[in-house]
């Protein structure tokens, strides 16, 4: 049986218009632009309006990805939405996207893996295609993290932003597409990045709201150490699995969480800044949306060419990580 290769045939991304700068945040908590930039590399982030939900951002990114792919929504077989901020506990955000796109033939479900979610979704979607079950899969990473941030906690409120990115996966020429991937989880340390309340462990009560248990809690030092370690090791493992060496890597799309983490990974991989795309200065950490938005921008700006070896990697809640190495199958955007 001939092996099916899977590549990206469409990309799209969307961020809200509202910009919140570091100076804006310094009016809410004791911090400064210099403090935030020095420690994170973040200068501003996008924040969705009060009446805008995650599915609203996801739909906009999905429409652009479908347009880029040349597909109609009713041709989709599956929609996967990776998000830590779903519109509701149920129905899934993917079901809401399906409804609004008019993708009547598609199955739909969400993935909750925090910032690693989009790559988890890509691997999942690709496996549906290689199994022969589906042919056209839409994967979306979308977040409205501003709605679960404690704006009085300077250790977390400076980090996060809202946005969405999407890709269409289909079979491609066997010399292109996904070459190798890795998914991982370290549940022993899951409590260092957590949204404590709102689930079955701590259902919503007046007490959980009063104690701000419906907002992100993070041990930044532990997450930092985990991220630096896993970004290096997973990158090397996935390259090795693909039969590639570091010097064969053409472009690197890391999760956009902290510039110091990215710099450490780039140093280990012996890559220069010209081989990556950084947008955390504009958007902050958009969790599951970070990688697809960066990927879309990099391709749109002509930084990624057909035949390039591209590595995507992310880490997040779980604690989780995910990486993909692929040989880029798309021609330039204007072709």
Could you give the angle at which helices 259-269 and 220-241 cross, rounded to 10 degrees?
30
7 SS3 class: strand
Place of tokens 């994170």: 40
CATH of domain 178-327: 3.40.47.10
DSSP class of residue 192 equals: G
Residue of 22, 115, 167, 258 with catalytic role: 115
Domain ranges of the chain: 5-175, 178-327
What number of other Cβ atoms are within 10 A of residue 93's Cβ? 27
Contact 294, 279 (CB under 8 A): yes
Q: What's the pLDDT at 207?
A: 98
Residue with tokens 């090397």: 236
155: closest CA among 197, 218, 209? 218
First to last CA, the chain: 32
Domains 5-175 and 178-327 share a fold: yes
Chain centroid, CA 48 distance in Å: 17
Length reported for the chain: 335
pTM tops 0.85: yes
User: Contact at 8 Å (CB) between 156 and 257?
Assistant: no
The answer to whether the beta carbons of residues 197 and 329 sit under 8 Å apart is: no
> Please, which residues bridge with residue 193 across strands?
218
Tokens matching residue 201: 């462990």
For residues 105 and 17, give the distance between their C-alpha atoms in angstroms, rounded to a whole number: 32
CB 319 within 8 Å of CB 192: yes
pLDDT at 333: 62
**pLDDT (0 to 100) of residue 244:** 97
Name the DSSP class of 155: H
Give the gyration radius of the chain's Cα atoms: 19
In the predicted model, residues of the chain with pLDDT beneath 50 are 335
Task: Spell out the CATH class of 5-175.
Answer: alpha beta
Tens-place pLDDT, residues 159-197: 999 999 999 999 999 999 999 999 999 999 999 999 999
Catalytic residue among 22, 157, 172, 285: 285
- Read off the pLDDT of residues 216-250 as tens digits, 9 standing for 90 and up: 999 999 999 999 999 999 999 999 999 999 999 99
* 285 labelled catalytic: yes
Nearest to 259 by CA among 285, 295, 233: 285
CA distance 203 to 196: 9
Please tell me which residue in 22, 172, 255, 329 is annotated as part of the active site.
255
What six digits make up the tokens of 220? 């930044």
Nearest to 179 by CA among 249, 231, 242: 242
Cα gap 319→113, rounded to integer Å: 8
Residue 67: the pLDDT is 98
């Amino acid at each position: 049986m001939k092996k099916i290769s899977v590549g990206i045939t469409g990309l799209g991304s969307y961020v809200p218009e509202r910009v919140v700068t570091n100076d804006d945040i310094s009016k809410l908590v004791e911090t400064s632009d210099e403090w935030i930039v020095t420690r994170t590399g973040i200068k501003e982030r996008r924040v969705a309006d009060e009446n805008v939900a995650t599915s609203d951002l996801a739909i906009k990114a999905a429409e652009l990805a479908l347009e880029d792919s040349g597909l109609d929504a009713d041709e989709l077989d599956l929609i996967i939405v990776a998000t830590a901020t779903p519109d509701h506990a149920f129905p899934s955000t993917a079901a809401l996207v399906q409804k609004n796109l008019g993708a009547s033939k598609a199955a739909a479900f969400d993935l909750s893996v925090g910032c690693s979610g989009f790559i988890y979704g890509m691997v999942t979607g690709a496996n549906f295609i290689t199994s022969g079950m589906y042919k056209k899969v839409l994967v979306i990473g979308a977040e409205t993290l501003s709605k679960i941030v404690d704006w009085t906690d300077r250790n977390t409120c400076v980090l996060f932003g809202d946005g969405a990115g999407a890709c269409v996966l289909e079979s491609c020429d066997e010399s292109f597409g996904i070459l190798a991937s890795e998914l991982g989880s370290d549940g022993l340390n899951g409590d260092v990045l957590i949204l404590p309340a709102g689930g079955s462990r701590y259902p919503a009560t007046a007490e959980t709201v009063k104690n701000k248990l419906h907002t992100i809690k993070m041990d930044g030092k532990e997450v930092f150490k985990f991220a630096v370690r896993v970004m290096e090791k997973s990158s090397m493992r996935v390259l090795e699995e693909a039969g590639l060496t570091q010097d064969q890597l053409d472009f690197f799309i890391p999760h956009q969480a902290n510039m110091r983490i990215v710099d450490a990974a780039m140093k280990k991989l012996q890559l220069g800044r010209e081989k990556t795309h950084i947008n955390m200065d504009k958007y902050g950490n958009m969790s599951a949306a970070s990688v697809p938005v960066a990927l879309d921008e990099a391709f749109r700006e002509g930084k990624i060419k057909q035949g390039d070896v591209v590595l995507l990697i992310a880490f997040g809640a779980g604690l989780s990580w995910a990486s993909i190495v692929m040989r880029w199958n798309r021609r330039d955007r204007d072709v």
